[in-house]
Chain A
Amino acid sequence: MPGETAATRTSSEIVIRRGTRGTVTGLGLSVGVILFLIFAPLFAGSGFVYDVTQLSILIVMAVSWNLLAGYGGMISIGQQGYIGLGSFAVLALSLNGVLAWYAVPLAMVIVGLISLPVSYLAFRLRGGYFAIGTWVIASVFQILISQNKSLGAGSGLVLTDLNNISPVLRNHIVYWFALGIGVITLVTTAFLLRSRVGLALMAVRDGEIAARATGVNIVRTKRIVYVLAAAMGAGAGALLILTNLEAQPAASFNVQYTAYMIFMVVVGGMGTFEGPIIGAILFFVLQQSLNSYGAWYLVLLGATAIAAAIWLRRGIWGVVDPGHHRSLVPLRHRVSVKDGYEREG
C-alpha cells in the first residue's frame, strides 16, 4: 500500500480458514437434519419413509451428474448406463448368494472398476461427441445385459432375496441404506472438492490451459471424477432395485434418468455443491404433482431444461449466490490478513 513502510508489514498476521459463519450454520443444520432423518422411521408413516428414500436416490443421481459436468467438465448423457449396471450388479450378486444388503456396496465397487477401462475409451472423445459416446456405451451395457439369460434377458428379473423380511422392515432398511448412500455421496463429494483433486477441478473449470501450465494432471483428475460418478450412479441403481424389487433393461437403462439429472443439476445450479440438492428437491416436488400427466411431464422437464440452459445458466443457487461466495459447506480457502481485509481464495 502507498506510504507503508517495511516495519508495518511484518507485524500483520495471515490466517487461513476453511470455514465461515455460514458454513458452521450449514454444517450444524445438516447434522441436525441427518440425525432427525435417522430416527424418523420410528415415528413417521410409510409415505414419509418412501418419499425420503426416493429423494435420496435423486440426490445421489444429481450429485453424481454434477460432479461429472459441473466440476469435471464432462457432459454425459450415459449415466443411466451405470445406474442400470448398479441395479443388475445387485441382482447378479444376489442370484449368486450374496445378501442384498452386502451387495449394495459391492455393486458400487464393481461398477466403479468397470468404469475405469471404459473411461479410456470415452476420453477419446470431447464435448458433444463425448456426450453421444457415453450414450453409446450405456446402450452397449443395456444390450449386453438384455442378452444375458440368467439376468432375465429382455424382461428382467425380480429380486427375491428379501422376500423373507416384512415389507415395513424392508422399507426401513432400504431407507437407511438410501440415507447412508446419500450422505456418503455428499460427504465424498465435499472431501473431494476440498482435496487437491478438487482444487485441480476448480482450476480446470476456470481455465484448462492455465491449469495444465501449473502441472495439474487433467486426464487423471477427470478419470477419478468419472469413476466416482459411475460408482455413485451404481449406488442409485442399487437403491432402485431395492425399492422396486425388480430390474428390467429397458427401464433400468432408460435415458430418462439423464433427463432427470440434467433438469436437477442445470436448474439447481451446475458446478455448485448446493445446486444438485436444490434441484433434486424441486424435481421431487414436481414429480409428485405432475406424475399423472405422463409424457407431458417430460415435455415440461425438457422445456424447462432448455430455458434454464439459455437464460438461467447458473441455476437457482447461482441466483442466490452469484459469486460462489456463500457455501453451506467449508470448501474454499479464505485468507485473512490482520489488517482487517479478508480475501478469498
Chain B
Amino acid sequence: MIWANAVVQGILLGGLYALFACGLSLMFGVMRIVNLAHGDLGVLAAYFAVVLVNNFGGNPLWSFATVIPVALIFGYFLQRWLLDHTVNSGEFSPILVTFGLSIVIENLLQVRFGANSQYLNLGNFTYASWHINRFVYVGKLSLVIFAVAVVILAGLQLFLARTRQGRLLRATADNPRAAALCGVNAKHTRAVATSIAMATVATGGLFFAMTTSFVPPSGSSYLIFAFESVIIGGLGNLWGTLIGGIVLGVSQGLGNQFNPADGILFGNIVFLMILAFRPQGLLAGAGAPT
C-alpha cells in the first residue's frame, strides 16, 4: 500500500511537471526554439517571489498576482530583444544562446543569493493532507497544484484552439512562411508564445518553491523534468505532456521507495527506455503546436 501512496504522489507531481513542460514545447512548436534556459527562468521567478515576500511580507500565495504579470511582460521582451536574433540563424544559434542565457541566469542568482537554499513558506498548509487510509495520504497543497496545473493546461488548449491569437500561434507553428503571407506579424506572434511560456514556467517555479527548497542550479532539474515529460508523452500533444509528467512523477515516486536518492534515477531510466523502445512517445500526437 505504500506503493499506492507513491503512485498518488507521483500523479500529483505529474501535473506540476506538465506545467513546466508546456512552455518548453510551446516555444518549440511555434518557433523551433528549445529554450535551454527554461528551467532557470522558473527559478528566477521563484527568487523574485522570495524577494517580494522578504520585503513586503504576507502570504506567499500573493506572489502569483505579482510575479505572473511580470513574467508575461518579461517573456515578451526576452523574445523580441534577445531570442528573435536566433530565429533565422540556423539550428545552433538558439541552443547556444539559450544555454549561455542559462549560465548567465544561474550565476547571477548565485552571486546575488549565494548557495543557501530558499523556500516559499506557506506555513502549515505545506504539510496539510487528507488521509485516505493508513498508508495513502493526499497533500492538500499537492492537490491544489495538480488542479491548477490541469486548469492551466486546459486553458492553454482552449486558447490555442478557440481564440484568434491562438489560431495565429498554431498557424505560425504549422507553416511560418504561409503565416507571413497571410499578414501575420511574426515577431509579435513569437513574443506571445514566449510570454505564455514564461508565465507557465513561472507558475511552475512558484509552486515548486512552495513544496521544496531550491538553489540557483535547480533550474537544470526543472528543464530536465520538463523535457522528459514532453518526450515520454510525445511531441505535439498537450495532454500527452500531462501523461508524460504523470508517468515521470510516478516513476520517481516508486524509485524513491527503493532508496531516497533513486527517485530521479528511476525517472531518467524510464525516460531512456521510452526513448529506446517507443521514441515517438506514449501518445504520439497530431500536429498541435505543443
Contact = CB atoms under 8 A, between A and B. Distances in A.
Q: Do A and B contact each other directly (Cβ–Cβ < 8 Å)?
A: yes
Interface of A: 69, 75, 77, 120-121, 124-125, 127-129, 131-133, 135-137, 139-140, 143-144, 146-147, 255, 258-259, 262, 266, 270, 294-296, 298-299, 301-306, 309-310, 313
B103 A131 contact: no
B96 A299 contact: no
Given A77-B36, A129-B34, A135 B220 contact: yes
A131 B275 CA distance: 14
Interface residues of B, number: 45
A298 B89 contact: no
A303 B104 contact: yes
A139 B106 CA distance: 18
A140 B265 contact: yes
A184 to B, nearest CB: 27
A104 to B, nearest CB: 29
A287 to B, nearest CB: 15
A127 B95 contact: yes
A129 B92 contact: no
A139 B104 contact: no
B99 A77 contact: yes
Nearest to A259: B103
Contact of A128 (B36, B106, B271): B36
A296 B133 CA distance: 52
Contacts of B93: 309-310, 313
Interface in B53-86: 82, 85-86
A262 B96 contact: yes
Contacts, number: 125
A305 B261 CA distance: 34
B184 interface: no
A302 B89 contact: no
A135 B219 CA distance: 13
A140 B97 contact: no
A259 B108 CA distance: 15
Contacts of A124: 275-276, 279
Given A133-B227, A140-B272, A305-B99, 9 more contacts: A121-B276, A128-B34, A135-B220, A136-B224, A139-B264, A298-B103, A298-B106, A299-B104, A306-B104
A131 B36 contact: yes
Contacts of A147: 261-262, 265
Contact of B224 (A125, A132, A295): A132
Nearest to B104: A302
B257 to A, nearest CB: 16
Contact of A302 (B33, B92, B103, B279): B103
Given A69-B92, A132-B223, A139 B103 contact: no
Given A75-B95, A136-B224, A140-B265, A310 B86 contact: yes
Contacts of A125: 231, 275, 279
A146 B279 CA distance: 28
B229 to A, nearest CB: 12
B101 interface: yes
A258 B102 CA distance: 12
Given A135-B224, A295-B110, A140 B268 contact: yes
Contacts of B276: 120-121, 124
Contacts of B262: 147
Contacts of A133: 227, 275
A48 B275 CA distance: 47
Most chain A CB atoms below 10 A, which of B91, B100, B108, B220: B100
A340 to B, nearest CB: 37
A296 B261 contact: no
A266 B86 CA distance: 15
20 contacts: A75-B92, A75-B96, A77-B99, A121-B276, A124-B275, A128-B91, A135-B224, A140-B269, A143-B265, A258-B99, A259-B99, A295-B111, A298-B107, A299-B104, A299-B111, A302-B101, A306-B82, A309-B86, A310-B93, A313-B93
